[in-house]
Structure 1
């Protein structure tokens, strides 16, 4: 039996575990510097993001973490998908697509003007998946980032 549900504060260890597994898949284990406690504070206390969890027979097998941004041109909020992950042994069952469809339902219910996300250039399976959903790459845009040190330096 498969289901998707909203995460609760009690799911924080599950979310943290899935984030670490995503980092392994993306070859970015060293970049996970957060903790379960910090996630609990930022997701559930401060409500900076939301999480849905995919389960097969009550076992967590994937998740999506998202938040809302805002488009000045569209004049509406957008749903920004930070991470979508399904454990490798559960791929090929349509669970990633079901998570994505659930996100689209949430975006529609919240009257979002768009859904956006980033994907690593080498992640061909994800790129092919997104293209199969009629998503279009934004080739004319480049993502920029300031890390914690960059923010601190600029703020001084």
Structure 2
């Protein structure tokens, strides 16, 4: 999928393929390192292959400049029961440090907005660590609003297994 969203000659966004698994994992690790939580990453090439290309649990886009990968976004469709329609949840957006500030991150977000509109989705949501001030400033500069009416919750690890395996 070529990207006509920017005036940057040579910039494209394409759907990831199985051959991109090592690149996707590299970007996940770089993003986790940037956010100070690399120790939490459990993803492997095998788990990404299974989740992305066998079970189709998420979609991944690769941003390229003159044929060189410069970033990625990973998203999935969710559903709003209140609205009765789907929306897109952006799991990750990452542009490598040397390519930041060139409009590639904005182009990835706009591309996701176009995907949302073309799929009759109601919105595009994502989370951001509150200490990630550069990213928060970037999102707010685009006009995104910070949600304060929701608190995130999680069940994982042993507790998830305990209840998920109960009879």
TM-score by length of 1: 0.97
Report what 1:134 is aligned to. Answer: 143
Report what 2:53 is aligned to. Answer: 44
CA distance in 2, matches of 1:45, 1:153: 26
Alignment of 1:53-92 (within 5 A): 53-92=62-101
Gaps of 5+ in 2: 1-9
CA distance in 1, matches of 2:159, 2:109: 33
Alignment of 1:1-156 (within 5 A): 1-155=10-164, 156=166
Cα RMSD of the aligned pairs, angstroms, is: 0.9
Q: Map Cα deviations across residues 98-149 of structure 1 (whole Å, 9 max, x no partner).
A: 0001000100111101111100001111111111222111111110111132
SS in 1 for 2:19: helix
CA distance in 1, matches of 2:146, 2:65: 31
The offset of 1:60, in angstroms, is 1.1
The offset of 1:153, in angstroms, is 2.0
Aligned residue pair count? 156
Runs of 4+ in 1 over 3 A off after TM superposition: none
